[in-house]
Chain A
Amino acid sequence: MSSVWQFLTRRRSGKAFDWTDAFTWFWLIGGVIMMFGPAVWLVNSSFKTPAALAEFPPSILPYVTAQAVVAGQDKPLDLYEVTDEAGNVRVLAEIRRIGIVSQMVDPAKPEEIIKVPIDKRKPKRSVSFSFDNYVKPFLAFDFFLYLRNSVFVTVMATVITLITNSMAAFALSKYNFTGRSFVMLLIIATLMVPLSVILVPLYSVISAMGLFNSLWGVILPTVATPTGVFMLRQYMLTIPDELLDAARMDKASEWQIYWRIILPLTAPALAVLAIFSVVWRWNDFLWPLIVLSRKEYYTLQVGLNVYAGELNVEWHYILAMTVVTMIPVVIVFIFLQKFITAGIAGTGLK
């Protein structure tokens, strides 16, 4: 019993392997399977043809059934490997299936119909990645447009967020003016007002400004993030005031101080905010869903949701487009994960 809680506390290395180590490995390996598994399965499935997706049980790799054009038949037929009584394997094409009997022909001799019990035939398949799933939505549907809209919203919102938030943070950290604490309080207060609380009135404000069905209607309400102002202010407070005074002695204007001293020194915090802003805006769903009602303005998230909500869900396209939607975030994750984890641990930002 004494070792029961051992895994819950720090242990010096070099002790014997006990059940807590086993549990640790169980949790870590289980974690890899649980956390990465679904995403891997998604990517894997996205390369399958509609026919392969409809299969149950699902195959691990994307297979395609070989087909052949047979004289006298209008459509290409699926090929099967058929084992006859003698144990010989022949490749036959299936014309139709009636109950447990399949009518087949030899592609070389299309006149003669052979009846084969279905348990004697096996589809002739080969591994093949279906890139059509990726190409077609971009050509035939509006996914290229959605992608462009998403990129536009993400980039613009992030740039404006960085500028407005850093300016506000500069004012709140480096100036003494009446009402400063009131402004701070106001910003704290907005932390309590998530979007879902002001949906209806915000929608009317956006409509009154003519921003309904406009990407700016998606961008503008999101750029004044209180968390961003907070984080940057916290960081700017550590910049010594003497630096600013010295610049003022040299006749620098306040704008120059902001631009040439504060911004470069705040770069690490700005980078963290930029990363978060990109992920936030790329992933936004509820607000774009409300503001954008016309197809040409959909962002990827809204477009995906609309296609996935249709009666006959075309999973082969949906899966491929989900992967496309995931890519930027995965890139951010792989290259900038360190900044994000540090940002969360330091500020509780999300």
Chain B
Amino acid sequence: MANALTTLNEKAGAMIMAPVRLLAMAFDPPLRVWQKWTGQNGMAAFFLAPNLAVFGIFVLFPLFINFAYSMTGGAALFLEDRVYVGADQYQRLFTCASYLDPKGCAEDLFWTAVWNTGLFVVLQVALMTIVALITALVLNRDLRARSFWRAVFFFPVLLSPVVVGLIWRWILQRQGLLNYGMIEMGFEPISWLAERNWAFTAAILVSVWAHVGFYALILLAGLQAIPRDLYEAAEMDGTRPARMFWRITLPLLAPNLLVVLVLTLIRAVQIFDEVYVLTGGGPGTSTLFITQYIYEVGFASLLRNPGLASAASILMGGVLVVLTLIQLGIARRNEMRSGKG
């Protein structure tokens, strides 16, 4: 039966592949002519061209004109219709009586979003790393059906942010499952998504729920790379388990922990979609984060100001560049270390 299925599968595959193969064969003669003209190594340009074209048009070019956008004003879409205003947009973002109090700023929403994002990043990254570490340690024990348990924690990672947001909106609503459980256990029901602090807490918890499996997986890979004989040697020396954790597990896991820390940081700074679907940035502005601010100022609000959105996105980009450079630095150091070891 299994054999029959495989052959069927192969036959179906062959049927789909046949026209593709024909197409590829049709490409060959003109490309041979081209190759004669450019030489063997010159064909590299041909292979690179499609990817670089897409990169150039949809990533690099926008990146460069983003700086130009941030120095123009008005609501016009195309750069040539826009008015040059110099550093006005940046000045507007940074005009503040006190940076600690968004209410005194010209762009109060921007600073609200900055502070919200800052607090979110600190709390979410800490919680994410701790939960991911505990999960990885639990999964690294001698478990039966480990791949099943691993899959359990990984499951939400694949869900779309919209699905994640809607699932939790349904559970956290006033008459939702969670409040029902709270009443059953003798607590007062809470308007999770209608009270500022609870909505912020929900945003953190939901984003941890959605992504923790991914980071646990990275940490688990790190744990499994620690040689077992280290523990056996320590055990023979009568080392206490607590000491083993602090002296063996944690130091050897440190590179992976750093990777996880920086990756969560980079993603937390850009948090948008699941929170947007969950709370819409509300109640009020309590879960308004930077990316949503950029989106609203650039596209959604009536007082559209693409220049301002550009300026804000460049500031966020600066933070991300620094974080990514740190990440690449760590990755390189890890590689060199494992290369030596």
Binding site for B on A (CB under 8 A): 1-13, 23-24, 27-28, 31-32, 34-36, 38-39, 41-42, 45, 54, 56-58, 163-165, 167-168, 170-172, 175-177, 180, 183, 186-188, 190-194, 196-205, 207-208, 220-221, 223-224, 229, 248, 253-256, 258-259, 279, 282-283, 285-286, 289-290, 301, 304-305, 308-309, 315, 318-319, 322, 325-326, 329-330, 332-333, 337-338, 340-341, 344-345, 348, 350
Contact = CB atoms under 8 A, between A and B. Distances in A.
B144 to A, nearest CB: 10
29 contacts: A1-B242, A3-B241, A5-B242, A11-B241, A27-B135, A57-B183, A58-B175, A167-B47, A176-B41, A186-B55, A190-B60, A198-B62, A198-B66, A198-B313, A199-B298, A199-B299, A199-B309, A199-B313, A200-B309, A201-B61, A201-B63, A201-B65, A204-B306, A254-B46, A255-B27, A282-B160, A305-B277, A329-B159, A345-B218
B217 A344 contact: yes
Nearest to A315: B170
A245 B32 CA distance: 17
A325 to B, nearest CB: 6
B240 interface: yes
Contacts of B24: 255, 259
* Interface of chain A: mostly helix, strand, loop or mixed: helix
Given A58-B180, A201-B62, A8 B245 contact: yes
A289 B291 CA distance: 13
Given A27-B134, A38-B171, A177-B44, A5 B54 contact: no
Interface in B125-159: 134-135, 137-138, 140-143, 147, 149-159
Given A54-B175, A198-B63, A255-B27, 4 more contacts: A198-B59, A286-B273, A305-B162, A325-B163
Of B135, B273, B298, which is in contact with the most chain A CB atoms at under 10 Å from its CB?
A: B273
B324 A191 contact: yes
Contacts of A279: 158
B270 interface: yes
B141 A202 contact: no
B160 A187 contact: no
A191 B60 CA distance: 11
B79 interface: yes
Given A31-B135, A198-B59, A224-B51, A192 B320 contact: yes
A317 to B, nearest CB: 12
A28 B149 contact: yes
B85 interface: no
Contact of A175 (B44, B161, B163, B244): B44
Contacts of A38: 167-168, 171, 209
B263 interface: yes
A200 B73 CA distance: 13
Given A201-B62, A337-B151, A285 B78 contact: no
Nearest to B242: A5
Contact of B40 (A31, A168, A223, A254): A254
A260 B317 CA distance: 41
Interface residues of B, number: 109
Contacts of A27: 134-135, 138
Given A6-B241, A197-B66, A333 B151 contact: yes
A7 B137 contact: yes
B119 interface: no
B158 A285 contact: no
B168 A224 contact: no
Of A177, A200, A223, A340, which is in contact with the most chain B CB atoms at under 10 Å from its CB?
A: A200
Given A35-B155, A198-B313, A285-B162, A344 B54 contact: no
Given A38-B171, A175-B43, A345 B280 contact: no
B44 A9 contact: no
B340 interface: no
A32 B152 contact: yes
Nearest to A3: B241
Nearest to B331: A348
Contact of A11 (B65, B142, B152): B142
Closest 5 CB pairs of A and B: A5-B242, A283-B160, A168-B51, A201-B62, A171-B47
Interface string B100-142: 0000000000000000000000000000000000110110111
Nearest to B183: A57
B252 to A, nearest CB: 12
Nearest to B29: A253
Contact of B214 (A1, A283, A350): A350
Interface string B172-199: 0001110010011000000000000000
Contacts of A285: 160-162, 273, 277
Contacts of A57: 180, 183-184
Nearest to B221: A345
Nearest to A293: B299
A10 B183 contact: no
B28 A42 contact: no
Contacts of B69: 200-201, 204
B55 A348 contact: no
B170 A290 contact: no
Given A201-B69, A286-B273, A31 B153 contact: yes
Nearest to B239: A9
Contacts of A345: 217-218, 220-221
Interface in B249-293: 249, 259, 263, 270, 272-273, 277, 280, 291
Nearest to B226: A10
Contacts of B162: 283, 285, 301, 304-305, 322, 325
A204 B78 contact: yes
B58 A221 contact: yes
A188 B321 CA distance: 11
A304 B321 CA distance: 33
Contacts of A253: 28, 31-32, 35
A35 B152 contact: yes
Of B138, B142, B163, B310, which is in contact with the most chain A CB atoms at under 10 Å from its CB?
A: B163
B166 A322 contact: yes
